[in-house]
Amino acid sequence: MLTERRNHARELVQGLELGRWDALVVMSGDGLMYEVVNGLMERPDWETAIRKPLCSLPAGSGNALAASLNHYAGYEQVTNEDLLTNCTLLLCRRLLEPMNLLSLQTASGLRLFSVLSLSWGFIADVDLESEKFRRLGELRFTLGTFLRLAALRVYRGRLAYLPAGRGVPGVPASPAVDRQDQQGPTDAHLVPLEEPVPAHWTVVPEQDFVLVLALLHSHLGSEMFAAPMGRSAAGTMHLFYVRAGVSRATLLRLFLAMEKGRHLEQACPYLVYAPVVAFRLEPKDGKGVFAADGELLVSEAVQGQVHADYIWMVSGCVEPPPGQKPRRGSPPEKPL
């Protein structure tokens, strides 16, 4: 099926008879997989639908999800046709692996699901403002980076997060999950956005940020090895933020080093990294934009929680590592 407009894939999967298919193969960029997953989660049978195996074949600009799957399979970092070939080989091998899913809640009441990332500030600006250069392919991001560096912005906001491995004293007294008008897994670590975060969370004082990035996978683009510290454990994600005060030259060096995953070796005091389970980000004055898997969201308070091993992706493994069995049961009844 060829998509013709924004959210077309979302509409298509809502009406599909999923039992006819072994898998849903998405040949595009990261945004189309975002549409497919959210379409599956909006179906009445979402608990069954979201277990349908998914495959990412890169044909977009960023191709971060495909690049991450390529990395997990042990292939060297490649782009364009080579990346497509590697991902097609994974599909031909018909092996599945469970992947984390990020549940997002916004102040306006939206419930969304991300398979890759949520960004605010510099990265979101480059992602969305470079759309007009889409015909350049991956070069659009390079051009967008230089243009945004020339007019570097900072955004004021408040960030809080639940670090991975921190003892949780129990489910919050009023979890932001028991809404009759929404469906999906329970976000047990989150409280309503109008309430303070739980006391065991880490709170970053209100300040100016250059960027904030919550990332589920290793790559932010086919040549952006953003998380070289290793694959996130089940139920966790990578959280990066860059504080205001960083120079344009330093920020450029960070992004150039990211191609080989060496940006953390720069020992930049403005760059902070933490593995987390959940987070909350509250922009001040509604400035800036959010990008969820490269798709535009309005700037408003947002919070998110990772759900461990929630979707099945075509990958390099038939079984998850020992001790990381998917919490939603065995693979789909009809093997890929």
Residues 140-155: tens digit of each pLDDT: 767 777 787 888 899 9
Query: 155-177, pLDDT tens digit by residue?
Result: 999 999 999 998 665 555 555 65
Q: Give the model's confidence band at 202: pLDDT under 50 very low, under 70 low, under 90 confident, else very high.
A: very high
Query: 40-77, pLDDT tens digit by residue?
Result: 999 999 999 999 999 999 998 889 999 999 999 999 99
What backbone phi and psi angles, to 5 degrees, belong to 93?
-75, -20
Reply yes or no on domain 8-100 having CATH 3.40.50.10330. Answer: yes
Are domains 8-100 and 102-166+192-308 of this chain identical in fold? no
Higher pLDDT pick, 204 / 183? 204
Look at residue 85 and tell me whether its pLDDT is greater than 90: yes
CB 320 within 8 A of CB 309: yes
Look at residue 5 and tell me whether its pLDDT is greater than 80: yes
Distance between CA 100 and CA 308 in Å, rounded? 5
Closest CA to 85 of 59, 105, 109, 54: 59
Query: 208-258, pLDDT tens digit by residue?
Result: 999 999 999 999 999 899 999 888 889 999 999 999 999 999 999 998 899
Q: Which pLDDT score is estimated for 326?
A: 40
Mean of the per-residue pLDDT values for the chain?
88
Classify domain 102-166+192-308 by CATH architecture: Sandwich (2.60)
Q: Give the model's confidence band at 181: pLDDT under 50 very low, under 70 low, under 90 confident, else very high.
A: low
Q: In sequence order, what are the residues at sequence separation of 6 or more whose Cβ sits closer than 8 angstroms to the Cβ of residue 34?
A: 114, 115, 116, 292, 293, 294, 295
Q: Which pLDDT score is estimated for 234?
A: 92
Domain residues of the chain, as ranges? 8-100, 102-166+192-308
Look at residue 317 and tell me whether its pLDDT is greater than 80: no
C-alpha separations of 42 from 36, 39, 113, 250, 293 in Å: 10, 5, 10, 43, 18
Query: 22-47, pLDDT tens digit by residue?
Result: 999 999 989 999 999 999 999 999 99
Where in the sequence numbering do the catalytic residues fall?
30
Share of the chain above pLDDT 90, in %: 70
CB 79 within 8 A of CB 138: yes
Q: Which pLDDT score is estimated for 180?
A: 46
Q: Which pLDDT score is estimated for 298?
A: 87
DSSP designation for 50? T
